[in-house]
C-alpha cells in the first residue's frame, strides 16, 4: 500500500500532491463551517472557463523555446481594444463577442510578430525582457487610453467626453454570454457549458496545431536548436510563430475572462495578468521548457479552486478585522509559491 502511494505521489509530483492534500483540507473546512459546497464548485468551474485560455497562451511560448510568456499583457491589451471597438460599434450578444475576437486576432498577430523579433534579439533573457516589455507597454497604454478616439458614452468619461474609463461594464453587451450559454445544474452545481466548451475548442485547435507540420517544427526549435538548424528549420521563425500564437490566445483569453467577470479593466489592470497564468501552468506540471494541454487544465483547476475555497474558509476561521484577508494571502500564495519553486518556476 505504501509503495502504491509513493508511486502515485511520484507520478503527480510532490508540489501537486501537497496542493491537492491542502485543497481536500480546505473542502473539509468548508463542510465544517457549513459553507455551500455547490456554490464553491460552481464558482470553480466558472473560473476554469474564465482563466483557461489565458493559461493556454503559455503553451506555444514554452514549446517554441521562449519560455513562460510574461509579456502576456501585450495580447491582453489587443483583446481589450477589440472588445472596446465592438462596444463602439454598438454590437450586442454573440455578434459583439465574436467581433471583439475577430478584431483582436490581427492586432495580436502584428503585436506578437514584433514582440517575437525582439525576443529573438535577446535569446537567453526572454522572460526577463518579456516582463519588462509587458509592464512597459501596459504602463504606456495608461496614456494611450486617454487619447484613443472612442466616443461611446459607455466608454469615455461622462464629464470630459474623452478618455476611457477605468472600468468598462459589459452589461447589455456580452456579459456572461458564454457562462450562461447552455448552462445547467447538476445536484446544485451550475455547469457553465458555453465557457467550458469554448475552452475545450481552443485546446482542441492548439492540439491540432501542435500536431501539424508547422507546430512540430516549432516544437523542434524549442527542444533542440542545433538539431532544428541541422534539419533545415529556421529557429527564429519557429520562435516567432510560438510568440504570435501565444499573443493571439492572450487577446482571445482576456475577452473570455471579461465576459465572465462582467467588465473590462483598463490602465494598470493588465500589468499582472501574466502571473496567475504562469503560476497555474507550473502548478499543473509544466516547466520552462515543457508544457502540455493537460498541464493547462489541471493547473487552472487547482489554482482557481485554491483561491476560491481559501477565502471563505479563512473568513470563517479568522472573522475579526482584516485578519481573514491576511490568512487568505498566507494560505493561498504561500502554498502556490512553494509549488512554483518545486515545479521549476525559478529556472
Give the CATH number of domain 16-28+36-342: 1.10.3470
What does the block give as the cell for 30? Answer: 468548508
Q: Hey, what's the cell of 125?
A: 533573457
d(CA 179, CA 13): 32
DSSP secondary structure, 243-309, as one string: HHHHHHHHHHHHHHHHHHHTEEE-TTGGGGTHHHHHHHHHHTT--SS---HHHHHHHHHHHHHHHHH
- On the CB side of 57, CA atoms within 13 Å amount to 35
Mean pLDDT of 20-36: 82
Q: Of 327 and 204, which is predicted with more confidence?
A: 204
Q: Are strands 189-191 and 184-186 parallel, antiparallel or unpaired?
A: antiparallel
Confidence of residue 30 (pLDDT cuts 50, 70, 90): confident
Share of the chain above pLDDT 90, in %: 37
pLDDT-derived band at 247, boundaries 50, 70, 90: very high
The phi and psi torsions of 156 (rounded to 5 degrees) equal -95, 160
Q: What is the DSSP letter of 344?
A: T
Q: Where are the chain's structural domains?
A: 16-28+36-342
Q: Give the model confidence (pLDDT) of 60-96 as tens digits.
A: 999 998 888 888 999 999 999 999 999 999 899 999 9
Average pLDDT over residues 302-311: 84
Helix (H, G, I), strand (E, B) or coil at 185: strand
Averaged pLDDT of the chain: 85
Query: What pLDDT sits at residue 345?
Result: 41
Report the distance separating Cα 125 and Cα 37, nearest Å.
44
Percentage above 70 pLDDT, the chain:
86
Q: Is the pLDDT of residue 318 over 80?
A: no
The mean pLDDT value for 291-316 works out to 85
The pLDDT of 328-342, averaged and rounded, is 58
Average pLDDT for 212-224: 88
Coil vs helix vs strand at 200: helix
Query: What cell numbers appear for 175 in the block?
Result: 456579459
Amino acid at each position: 500500500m505504501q509503495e502504491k502511494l509513493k508511486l502515485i505521489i511520484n507520478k503527480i509530483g510532490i508540489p501537486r500532491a501537497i496542493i491537492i492534500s491542502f485543497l481536500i483540507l480546505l473542502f473539509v473546512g468548508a463542510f465544517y463551517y457549513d459553507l455551500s459546497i455547490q456554490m464553491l464548485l460552481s464558482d470553480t468551474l466558472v473560473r476554469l472557463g474564465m482563466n483557461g485560455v489565458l493559461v493556454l497562451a503559455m503553451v506555444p511560448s514554452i514549446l517554441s523555446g521562449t519560455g513562460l510568456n510574461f509579456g502576456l499583457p501585450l495580447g491582453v491589451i489587443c483583446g481589450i481594444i477589440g472588445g472596446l471597438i465592438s462596444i463602439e460599434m454598438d454590437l450586442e450578444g454573440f455578434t459583439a463577442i465574436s467581433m471583439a475576437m475577430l478584431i483582436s486576432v490581427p492586432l495580436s498577430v502584428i503585436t506578437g510578430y514584433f514582440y517575437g523579433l525582439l525576443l529573438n534579439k535577446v535569446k537567453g533573457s526572454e522572460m526577463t525582457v518579456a516582463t519588462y516589455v509587458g509592464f512597459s507597454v501596459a504602463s504606456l497604454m495608461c496614456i494611450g487610453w486617454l487619447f484613443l478616439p472612442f466616443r461611446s458614452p459607455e466608454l469615455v468619461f461622462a464629464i470630459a467626453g474623452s478618455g476611457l474609463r477605468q472600468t468598462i461594464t459589459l452589461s447589455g453587451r456580452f456579459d456572461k454570454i458564454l457562462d450562461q450559454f447552455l448552462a445547467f445544474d447538476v445536484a446544485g452545481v451550475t455547469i457553465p457549458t458555453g465557457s467550458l466548451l469554448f475552452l475545450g475548442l481552443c485546446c482542441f485547435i492548439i492540439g491540432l496545431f501542435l500536431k501539424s507540420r508547422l507546430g512540430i517544427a516549432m516544437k523542434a526549435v524549442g527542444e533542440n536548436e542545433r538539431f532544428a538548424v541541422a534539419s533545415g528549420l529556421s529557429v527564429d521563425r519557429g520562435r516567432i510563430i510560438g510568440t504570435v500564437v501565444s499573443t493571439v490566445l492572450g487577446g482571445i483569453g482576456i475577452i473570455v475572462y471579461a465576459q465572465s467577470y462582467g467588465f473590462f479593466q483598463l490602465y494598470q489592470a493588465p500589468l499582472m495578468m501574466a502571473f496567475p497564468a504562469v503560476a497555474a501552468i507550473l502548478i499543473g506540471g509544466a516547466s520552462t521548457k515543457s508544457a502540455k494541454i493537460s498541464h493547462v487544465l489541471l493547473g487552472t483547476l487547482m489554482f482557481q479552486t485554491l483561491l476560491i475555497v481559501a477565502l471563505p474558509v479563512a473568513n470563517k476561521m479568522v472573522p475579526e478585522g482584516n485578519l481573514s484577508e491576511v490568512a487568505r494571502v498566507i494560505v493561498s500564495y504561500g502554498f502556490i509559491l512553494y509549488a512554483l519553486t518545486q515545479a521549476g518556476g525559478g529556472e
